[in-house]
Chain A
Amino acid sequence: MRRPATYIYIFLMLLIPLLLAVFEKSVTAQFTNSPNAIVGILGGMSVLSLFFYAAVMGVPVFRDEEHGTAQTYFTFPVSEKNYILGRFFGSFTIVTFMNLAAVLGAIIGFQIGGFLDRPDYGTYTDFNFWSYFLSFVYLLTFNAFFIGSLFFSLMTFFKRMPILYLGGIVILLATIVSGQLVSKLDTEWLSIYVDPFGENAHGYLTKYSSISELNTMQLSLTGKFLVNRLLWLGIGIAIFLFTFFKFSYKGFLVSKKKKNTKEDNEVFEPSGLTTIVQSFSKKAQRENLWSLGKIEFLSIVKESVFLVLIVIGILIAGFVAYQSNQIYGTPSLPLTRYMVVQIAGGISLFSIIILIIYAGEAVHRTRKNKTFEFYDALPVSNSTLYLFKIIALVGVAVVLTLLGILVGILYQTGNGYFNYEPGMYFTYNFAKIFPSYVATLLLAFFIHVLVNNKFLGHFIVVAIYLGVPLVMTLAFKTTNPLLVFGGVPGSFLSDLNGFGHYLTGEFWLNLYWILFTCILAALGKIFWNRGFFSSAKERLKLARQRLTGKTIAYTLFFVFAFISVGGYSFYNLKVLNQLEDGDYSDKLSADAEKAYGKYMDKPHIQVIDLKANIDIYPAERKVDAQGIFKVVNPSEQPIDTVLMEIKFPISDTKIDKVIYNGKEITPFLSDTLYRLFIYKLPEALQPKDTADLVIETKVRTHGFAMDTETGDILLRQARHPGRI
């Protein structure tokens, strides 16, 4: 309890539900803080708290082992059973505090939400103790117990940190899978058994609930939800009892590994080597960098936990591919272009998790196994010590990317489909997926270098990786890829065009983010821990010392490159094309409604005949269109104005020419923002009269844009003369 990290965990468990509650929005008649919403937040919190539960419940026993205090404890007159009880419930008490903090956070958050007058966030109902209490018991406490027992048990019997990671990942997977299952009609029954956190089971229960039910029904142990809770609570209890009875001091301390007593009876022959040459040339240093990197890389990929994670990743990818390569339940041919997208969807999140974990491990490895004491005194430069780990991690990223390709090919082969299109595989994976891996691992590496606590480091990385996009989308309502970490413009893979022109935009944005993380990496280097450090102050002093000319030079280089690429991207995204925040289009529509609403009831002309000439230039991505209309005035009044609204999604769409009965007319009102133009007819069109109208439009694209340009141009074009 005295560890500062524990307080940080508790604080975070208070803060996150608080923020979630404050930003919780209800767009239906469901109360913003309905019992259902509260369940959503607190249930979701259980999933996030996986990290914290792991840190609090898995680590104490491990620490006893690591610090050797185990042996001392075991000589006290404490029976094995009492030891287990003590350790478990001690940690569980802390976990309960954390859960209470979460509930408190949610309560405060909703109170704040209700207090702020935000009509578009929905209506709030009164505080109901039971909504919170029931979620606390049935979700938070039950989940914490299950997870706690699991981690506690894993650490007690396996005593290795990677097992903790593995356990966490398996649980997360189970949740994700159950989420998938609940959405499909024929598999939703399975979801309740697979969901350890209860959230999806609850979702299943309330899938068809009415809004008033959602507003009034409290969480209760009924039906399928009860089954789920009993099942997982039962599993938790079973695990705990197993640990309780099976634990023995001896078993804990004695290593089961047989010691290798290899002895070589070869007789030593002196080599007669009298002098050796020591070389510290640049070439030698580079070779050292590579061989150190190779060793680190091998120590990551040869670890049994890594291999297990890979296998799980492959299984997930296969599963996801199978599930999503269906159109309403009918499987499609596993075309390469489906494969790359779906496999990537399945495996990339997993790979990111692996990269984040091993970035943390790499940073802390030499500290943990205490080899740093003599490593750091060796004639290796700081740069080498820092870079070789990054190289190893990039190697791991390559392996994971290749794995994605391999899985796709295997899946296709397994389904009897042999048109592999390796070019597409490689382009997709190395142009889209690989850069995101590199950016993420560099970010994770940087965070771990700065923060000394491994779990906290992991948490911060995940918070940034998930939180920043969330905050940007929800709070700031922007999808600007320059602001969202790892964001890239949308893209579309097609049989006709392959990657089309989208790769350009992706390339620039990927480069942008990699440059950003390179800046972080350059900064991280000056904070790298070599030898013994005492305090943050000393690290800062050391960092200032390490800011040599060379370091500043290439940091500035990265900064400069970053700003240039960012500027170029900004130019493309916002200047040449359009990229606005979520509220912008709402506001625009609102303004337009205020300005032009008065035209709604006025009589409009009707199209009775149309001939369309449309020239599409796919290579230049431009369209020239001409519509020759015959229009009639169907009303009893003469019409003297025509209103045209451009609805085509590409921003640079212009009405080039409008010819009315042979005469060219120009708009007297041009709203280029809303793309609405009002033309006055040279002479009013009398009731029941017809006229000829020719409209020519030009669509041009420039640079790269955020949105994809979908292919239903023809459809749009025909509908193009807006609300005539």
Chain B
Amino acid sequence: MLSITELNKTYPNGTQALNNVNLEIGKGMFGLLGPNGAGKSTLMRTIATLQNADSGSIVFDGIDVFAAPDELRKVLGYLPQDFGVYPKVSAEMMLNHIAKIKGIQGKGDRASYVSDLLNKVNLYKFRKRNLGDYSGGMRQRFGIAQALIGNPKLIIVDEPTAGLDPLERNRFHNLLSELGEDAVVILSTHIVDDVVNLCTNMAVFNEGSVVVQGHPQELSNTLNGKVYRKNISKEETEKYQSEYTVLSTYLRSGNFNVNVYSDTHPGEGFEPVNNDLEDFYFYSINQPQTV
């Protein structure tokens, strides 16, 4: 169980990245959904012992993260959003090296363990290739492999699918879905699909605070019957934005559409739609999105 209490952080340039964040996260896949700049990465890094907060506390399974970061690191798996590699080292060698640091002694055991892991992330065929020659998708898979070493109890995955093509994204989802059986997994992303597909629990995070927390389907259902769509022209966008609670504007089959939120039927030209998590997301962050 991960308990985040009253977490605050303000950067020297005045940006308040974390504003009284409170979260309780249990085993399973937890989605942290929010736009770019919301402060998700700051939160992820703070949990991963890479950053300090101004005030508040983070406790995982009895470990106070600020007081005893070394203890947390023993059970942590972290896939950063943006990481570099040693270009001239092979994947196998690098994983072996990290496995050693994560405490897996015994050369033979370690080698077998690394092989199993490489196979799990579908990189066994490429294990002897230098990391510098890996494609984007392969690099992300390597990233998750290193995060999984040592069967961590807390796994933090920061924007893992950004930049991956649909096939790779799918592969990645399959990988991630196997986790979370025995660990707390936090998936930080701005891609709603990731959360829809993978997470049993989620929170919407914006401007440094938790906007809403709950089960994805349940949260989505709160908007049932209250989302309507209308085909409009682009010039009318502003007019609609001032008159209605616009959730999003988008093109579909070449036509310009607008989704609005309304308790009652808004009237002429609007038709109710099957709302999804994306609508709920836009509703939560309270800004019309041009998709």
Contacts and interface: CB of A to CB of B under 8 A. Distances in A.
Tell me whether A and B are bound partners: yes
Interface of A: 259-265, 268, 270-271, 273, 276-280, 284, 287-288, 291-292, 295, 299, 369-371, 373-374, 376-381, 530-532, 534-535, 537-538, 541-542
Nearest to B84: A370
Given A260-B129, A531-B49, A531-B50, 14 more contacts: A261-B129, A263-B126, A270-B119, A276-B104, A278-B74, A278-B104, A288-B101, A373-B82, A374-B147, A377-B73, A379-B74, A534-B12, A537-B12, A538-B12
B115 A288 contact: no
Given A270-B119, A288-B100, A263 B125 contact: yes
A280 B84 CA distance: 26
B109 interface: yes
B133 A379 contact: no
15 contacts: A261-B129, A263-B125, A263-B126, A270-B119, A276-B150, A278-B102, A279-B103, A279-B105, A371-B86, A373-B82, A377-B48, A377-B80, A379-B103, A534-B12, A538-B52
B106 to A, nearest CB: 8
Contacts, number: 124
Given A278-B74, A370-B82, A260 B125 contact: no
B127 interface: yes
B76 interface: yes
Task: Kindly state the interface size class of chain B when it binds its partner.
Answer: 35 or more
B109 A273 contact: yes
B125 A265 contact: yes
A381 to B, nearest CB: 6
B128 A374 contact: no
A264 to B, nearest CB: 6
B97 interface: yes
B146 interface: yes
B112 interface: yes
A530 to B, nearest CB: 7
B45 A268 contact: no
Interface in B142-175: 143, 146-147, 150-151
Contacts of B80: 373-374, 377
Contacts of A541: 52
Nearest to B90: A262
A271 B12 contact: no
A277 B150 CA distance: 9
B282 interface: no
Contact of B70 (A265, A287, A288, A381): A381
Contacts of A263: 125-126, 129
B103 A264 contact: no
A530 B102 contact: no
Nearest to B45: A532
A371 B83 CA distance: 6
A293 to B, nearest CB: 13
A264 B12 contact: no
A278 B116 contact: no
Among A273, A295, A377, A378, which residue has the most Cβ atoms of chain B within 10 A?
A377
A539 to B, nearest CB: 10
Contacts of A273: 109, 112-113, 116
A264 B48 contact: no
A292 B129 CA distance: 21
A369 B86 contact: yes
A644 B84 CA distance: 77
Given A265-B125, A377-B49, A284 B105 contact: yes
Interface string B96-124: 01101111111001001101100100001
B16 interface: no
B287 interface: no
